Every structure is written in structure tokens, then in C-alpha cells.
Amino acid sequence: MTKEGFYFVETYTENLIRNIKVEKILFEGKTNYQYVQIFENRMMGKMLFLDKKIQSAAIDESIFHESLVHPALMTHQNPQNVLIIGGGEGATLREVLRHECVKKAIMVDIDKQLVRLCQEYLPEWSSGAFSDPRTKVVFGDALKYVEKCRQKFDVIISDLTEPIDKGHSVYLFTEEFYRKASLILKDDGVFVLQAGSTDISYNQFFSSCSRTLGKVFQVVRPYWTFMFSFCSPWGFIMASRKQDPLNRDEKTIKTRIKNRKIKKLVYYHPGIHRGLFALPLYLERALKKGDVLTDKKPFIWEL
């Protein structure tokens, strides 16, 4: 059990761990799907861990969620209907709803208990998004939802935990799933996902997701940023049949931010949009070595 005044030990690999001092415990317990820990740290602020792996911290959650959401929504000329897969904290939903053009945002998450815990202990993450009239929350399996869905979306955002052994997200990163998701994406729609670590040692998941998306979409653009709370650079991937984020210049982005009445951004801005897609050589090389992920051969994290 986590104790106040002691250190939470997060194991990155068997060769690398870090200690995070626990100032105040807000919640610790198990939902039907995962072990949840929410506590405060003097430097990071509130922190959320799932199955003892960090998911969010107050100090930079806005960097993560702005990076996940805004490049995709700014690439689309008029996103009105958005599907969010996962995103239990509500911060992805919060960022989507900052775009005034969005008329409907559907969030599908399997863990109802986690969503409720985040609303109670991390209300700053959602900032009222769950009560917005444009929001619809569906509690259930995202794979089944996508298979049965008859609606088409302008943007689909995948904000899922990384696939671990026996985890519920394993088959949501495969070619089969991406093909199913593409069927409920409009012809000019955009798909984006958080794709894990992009550090020099552990980037295979990122590279494999990129190669897998290339089997389904004509345009695939991996990008990244640095996450202080993760102590690692972090990857995202945008995919589309037609839309290319590299074709959006600063003037276009600036106009869309103004027209959609988006204010008080912390990280994303017109000048950084294209810069997010500039990758170091080691990642450019790694992208060529990624595996195609399938239901028969999915990716399982083994750190």
C-alpha cells in the first residue's frame, strides 16, 4: 500500500526505477479492470497511476492532451462529430470541446468506476466537460462499439493505455481494429492515437503502430513531444485518407484557433504544429523496422 510521506516506486524496467514522494493519498483501490492510485506530489501535483504506471500528472497533462487533440482537429477543416476511445480522465474530452465547431463528442470507456473516480478526485482534468450538452459518454468495450456503430465521425481519437498482457486494450492497436475504425470515419476524416514511448530504447510500439496504420490509411504522420512527468519523449500518430497535417501552415492554424474561439492554450500554438512532426534520425530509422500488428500477433509490452 502507498503511504503518505514515503516514496512510490515506479518500475520502468528491471534496470531503471524512480521514486516519487507521496504527499497526500487521494485514492487507492481496484476497479473491475485496473488498479488505481491517485496521490499528490509537491513537484508534479496530482498524479494518476493505473496498474502502477503513470497516466497523468497535473504539471503537464495539458501538454499531453493538447498534443493528442489539437493537431488532428486543426488538420480537419470543420470537425463537428468526434469519437474518443478511452480517455477516462476527461481531459481529452475537455480539449475537444474547446473547438466551438464541435457539435457532438462521444467518449467510449470500458471503466465506469475509473471515470467516476477521476470526476471526483481529478475534476480539473475534465473541467466540466462531462456536463457539456455536446457530450455523450458510453461505458463499454470500444471494439464492440466500433463494430456496431452506424454513425460516421470527422475525427476519431484513441487515448488508451498501452497493451499489456491480459489488458483490455491489446486488440485496439491492430490492423483489424484500424480497418473497423476507418469504416466509421468520414472520407475526409482524421484518426489519431497516443502511441507510447519514443525514447531511444523503447520505441517499437510507436514504430509498429505507425507501420500498421500504413496498411489502412494513405497518409500516416507520426509525431512526438517530451513529457516531464513520464521522464520520456512520447509519441502520437495521425492518419487519414486525404488530410495531411503538414499541409497546414501557421496562418491557417492561427485563423482556425481564432474562429473556433480557443483560448488559454498551454502548449500547442500555430508555430509548433509542423514542428511536432520533425523526428530525430533514430526514430526515422525505427519507423522502418516496426511490425504490422494483427489480432494473431498483437503487441504486448514486456519491459
What pLDDT is attached to residue 19? Answer: 94
Q: Are 45 and 21 in contact (CB under 8 A)?
A: no
The pLDDT tens digits of the residues spanning 25-75 come to 999 999 999 999 999 999 999 999 999 899 999 999 999 999 999 999 999
Which positions are annotated as active-site residues? 159
25, burial (CB in 10 Å: exposed 0-12, middle 13-18, buried 19+) = middle
Q: Are 46 and 28 in contact (CB under 8 A)?
A: no
Phi, then psi, of 78 in degrees rounded to 5: -160, 70
> Could you tell me the pLDDT band of residue 165, with boundaries at 50, 70 and 90?
low
Structure confidence by residue, pLDDT tens digits, 59-68: 999 999 999 9
Segment 202-230 shows an average pLDDT of: 97
Q: What is the DSSP letter of 103?
A: -
Whether pTM > 0.85 for this model: the answer is: yes
Which residue spans of the chain are classified as CATH 2.30.140.10?
A: 7-57
Specify whether the CB–CB gap between 234 and 194 falls below 8 A.
yes
pLDDT band at 299 (very low <50, low <70, confident <90, very high): confident
pLDDT (tens digit per residue) in 87-144: 999 999 999 999 999 999 999 999 999 999 999 999 999 999 999 999 999 999 999 9
Domain(s) of CATH 3.40.50.150: residues in the chain:
61-287
Distance CA 297, CA 25 (A): 39
Q: Confidence band (pLDDT; 50, 70, 90) for 239? A: very high
Q: Rounded to the nearest 5 degrees, what angle is found at the Cα of 275, between the Cα atoms of 271 and 280? A: 160
**283, three cell numbers:** 526514430
Count CB neighbours of 302 within 10 A.
Answer: 7
Q: What proportion of the chain, given as a percentage, has pLDDT over 70?
A: 98
CATH of the domain spanning 7-57, picked from 2.30.140.10, 3.40.718.10, 1.20.120.450, 2.60.200.20 = 2.30.140.10
> Does the structural domain 61-287 have CATH classification 2.30.30.30?
no
| Residue at 66: amino acid letter | E
Which residue type sits at 181? A
